[in-house]
Amino acid sequence: MKYDVEGLLQRQFAVSEHYRKVFTDLENVRTRTIDFGKFHYVLQYNPCRIGSATADTKKKVTPDNCFLCEAHRFPGQIALEYDEQYNILVNPYPIFKKHFTIVDKSHVPQEIIGEESKMVQMAEDLPGFTVFYNSRNSGASAPFHRHFQACETTELPIYQQWETFKNGGKVFSLTNYDDNGFWMVYDGTRFFYMIHIDSRKNATTYLAKILGHLKYELGTESPEANVGVAVEDGMYKIVIFPRTKHRPDEYFATGDNHFTISPGFADMAGIIPCAVESDFNRLDKERIKSIFNQVTLDPNYLPKLDPLKTAMSFDKHGKLITHP
Ligand SMILES: [Zn+2]
């Protein structure tokens, strides 16, 4: 591998008791599978995620108190240089057995626009890994500092179920030519786009177009979405979960209706870290449906985003140009 992330992990364990502990805990983590037939979610009882799940994302954070800026990083955290712009760090509160954070060296707000091609490049440079992104109001616990994350693709249910979703399942709309194209899927819990293309250039173009369109249609400052990019056997596999809500009503409810669940890419991709044990014990199919339907787009909205109807052309502001 061009970037020795395995070596980074070992070097990090060598110098930090915290890292050794949290990653060892993860090896023995309790999980529970919630089966929906053609796909599933995996619940993970992971108490170390409590800080991320309850992060105050409105808090004013500057380079003087930012945990992604070099001077204030997690104690003992070491970095691997990715390029002139990014460093790779080991995530101190992991969900995945190999969990990295790829941080911008500058304290700039979380933003994917303009970095689409870099993100695809990162996935290409980390074979076997999915590089993922949480937008500012969709699971990022550090909206104030640009970062991506990476985990092994084999750990993500959405990629295990890739062919099932691509070949059928409950597909809302389908554009499929020679196994190259993009799909819109609504599976009863969440809506997402899948891009499956053999050229880096086209994969990047579609990613940029979909994100630009989401930003325009939903009228947000930055496109609100959870995005994953993996490169496998020469195919670029991108999944985009458009988001409407940062946290579901259950997060703010009290009593039995309260769940400390704040979905990010991992959750949307099928791994739900539960920082609270009772959440881990109580989450069921109905609750998962409720939570995921709230934070992603309403299926009634889909025709507006249907590439079949639009041929997916956009003007320079990201506005869709429809072709009759
Ligand atoms: Zn920062």
Compute the distance from residue 108 Cα to the ligand 1 centre, in Å: 7
Interatomic CA distance for residues 92 and 49, integer angstroms: 10
CA of 324 to the centre of ligand 1 (A): 46
Residue 195 CA to ligand 1 centre (angstroms): 31
CB atoms within 10 A of CB 125: 17
pLDDT > 50? residue 235? yes
Mean pLDDT of the region 181-203: 86
Q: For residue 164, report the distance from its CA to the centre of ligand 1, in Å.
A: 40
CB 214, CB 312: distance < 8 Å: no
Going by C-alpha positions, the residue among 119, 86, 123, 81 that lies closest to residue 102 is 86
Kindly report, residue by residue over 247-294, the tens digit of the pLDDT. Answer: 989 999 999 999 998 899 999 999 999 999 999 999 999 999 999 999
Chain Cα centroid distance, residue 3:
21
Q: What spacing in Å lies between the alpha carbon of 140 and ligand 1's midpoint?
A: 13
Tell me how far the alpha carbon of residue 16 lies from the centroid of ligand 1, in angstroms.
Answer: 22
| Domains of the chain, CATH where assigned | 5-152+163-310 (3.30.428.70)
* Separation of CA 67 and ligand 1 centre (Å): 6
State how far the alpha carbon of 62 is from the alpha carbons of 108, 137, 142, 205, in Å: 10, 18, 11, 33
* Residue 316 pLDDT class (50, 70, 90 cuts): low
Cα of 134 vs centre of ligand 1, distance in Å, is 16
Q: Which residues contact 240 (CB under 8 A, 6 or more apart)?
A: 192, 193, 195, 207, 210, 211, 214, 225, 226, 227
> Model-level pTM?
0.91
